[in-house]
Amino acid sequence: MPLYAYKGVNIDGTMQAGQYEAVDKDAVMAMLRERGYYPVEVKPIRDKRSGGWLATLQRVPLRDISVFCRQFSAVIKAGIPIVQALDIMREQVANKSLKEALAEIYQSVQVGKALSDSMEEYPRVFPAMLVEMVRVGELSGTLDISLERMADTYEKQYKLQQKVSNAMIYPVVVCAVAIAVVIFMLIFVVPTFVSMFTDSGMELPLPTRILLGLSGFVQNYAVILLLLIAVLALVLFYYISTDAGRRWFDGLKLKVPVVKDFMIRSITANFAQILSTLLASGIDINQALDIVKGVIKNKVVEGHIDEFIEDVEQGVTLADTIGKAELFPVMLVQMTRIGEESGSLDAMLAQTAQFYETEAENAATRLTSLIEPAIIVVLGLAIGFIVISIALPMFTMISTVPAGA
């Protein structure tokens, strides 16, 4: 149904504003009259779920979501009603997208709409997992606890995300610097020796001829090379943005020896932490797995979680279906089995998540410690080759100079 924005005033002069879904404008006016308000303004607005202006809101960083959940939980725990709490939060938050969404949600909740239903209309602002946890909290009367759990979960996700970013960005930056140094030497350093070598008329050693050839090629075709690299990068980024490309890239990250351990440990920590939080809040296993699938940003893992859901629906234990995938560490399988048998699956998963968070940190440290010296060695070999290629003909020239000349 269409969504309308309305303003009404009652006999005491109190103004009421909000949004209301109705068949037409007359239905909104009838609703206001039934509530004792005289319609001042009723106008249609674009349905947010079909691409309204709030659909263009930027995604909110996990850190901001975590802070919002913690503050909102504290306000609710203090006994402040939801509507008043939302009014406080929309004034407190700094993130623009979050502030604008909360302003709309405040109006929706004012007219009787459930908080979770209102939040669900802004998927770019509020993750599906948070919406479901809020819904559970509303039904059970433990909204403050649900929000506190989500604050902890998103804080851990943020820290893990930062570790992933740092582990991946550092080697890329070092590689870029190394390549820039080599190109600088080929374009600006090597050419200063070219005229000296050509004027001598001597036969140049093979390494020197290779170096001069590379230097000339880079100088003559630098623009073409840059354009080619840019085109290849654009093609690669476009391919990765497709489902097939994303699946290939995500699969590659799980296979490359140096990166594999870190990625699997970080994904395992994320999987166990989120699933533990959802199960502890009373969400059933299939729904919890479906939510986890939307949070884990890896197409290969998403495919495995789809298989988990199908198997669990057919009566297979979660531990057995995880073990069958041969993706996650054995410890996760064992802890899941213990949790299922003892009826404490959420607690076992929480312990597993804590263990693999530490393992992911250690893997990130190992990754950096392996890549950094490797890049330094490669850069040293490249610079060494340049220096030797320049030095060899110079030694020859010096040796041919007559003694006492």
Q: Which of 103, 124, 156 is the last residue of a domain?
A: 156
Burial 180-208 (b: 16+ CB within 10 A, else e): eebeebbeeebeebeeebeeeeeebbebb
The answer to whether position 106 is within a domain reads: yes
Give backbone dihedrals phi and psi of 9, rounded to 5 degrees, phi first: -130, 140
Q: Which of 156, 190, 205 is the last residue of a domain?
A: 156
84 shares a domain with 131:
yes
68 shares a domain with 38:
no
The answer to whether position 51 is within a domain reads: no
pLDDT score for 50: 42
Residue type, 48: K
Is residue 20 helix, strand or coil? strand
Domain range for 82 is: 60-156
Residue type, 120: E
Is residue 41 helix, strand or coil? strand
DSSP track, 224-277? HHHHHHHHHHHHHHHHHHSHHHHHHHHHHHTTSHHHHHHHHHHHHHHHHHHHHH
pLDDT score for 43: 79
pLDDT score for 47: 45
The answer to whether position 94 is within a domain reads: yes
75 shares a domain with 33:
no
Angle at the Cα of 255 from the Cα atoms of 290 and 232, rounded to 5 degrees: 95
337 shares a domain with 289:
yes
DSSP track, 329-373? -HHHHHHHHHHHHHT-HHHHHHHHHHHHHHHHHHHHHHHHHHHHH
358 shares a domain with 270:
yes
CA dihedral over 116, 117, 118, 119, signed as positive or negative? positive
CA dihedral over 171, 61, 279, 71, signed as positive or negative? positive
Angle at the Cα of 398 from the Cα atoms of 394 and 401, rounded to 5 degrees: 145
pLDDT score for 371: 78
pLDDT score for 392: 85
Alpha carbon of 314 to those of 29, 128, 309, 324: distances in Å? Answer: 50, 25, 9, 15
Q: Which of 107, 135, 156 is the last residue of a domain?
A: 156
91 shares a domain with 40:
no
> Which stretches in the chain have pLDDT values below 70?
1-3, 19, 21, 23, 45-57, 200, 400-405
Residue type, 99: K
34 shares a domain with 123:
no
Of 160, 150, 401, 402, residue with least CA distance to 262: 160
269 shares a domain with 316:
yes
The answer to whether position 237 is within a domain reads: no
- Token pair 């048998």: residue: 341
pLDDT score for 55: 45
The answer to whether position 228 is within a domain reads: no
70 shares a domain with 27:
no
256 shares a domain with 353:
yes
- What is the dihedral angle through the alpha carbons of 78, 83, 88, 90, rounded to the nearest 10 degrees? 140
The answer to whether position 346 is within a domain reads: yes
The answer to whether position 183 is within a domain reads: no
Of 335, 313, 315, residue with least CA distance to 323: 335
Of 223, 233, 209, residue with least CA distance to 390: 209
Of 60, 62, 59, 77, residue with least CA distance to 273: 62
Domain count, the chain: 3
327 shares a domain with 265:
yes
The answer to whether position 314 is within a domain reads: yes
CATH number of residue 354's parent domain: 1.20.81.30
Helix and strand counts by DSSP (H, E) for the chain? 17, 3
95 shares a domain with 33:
no
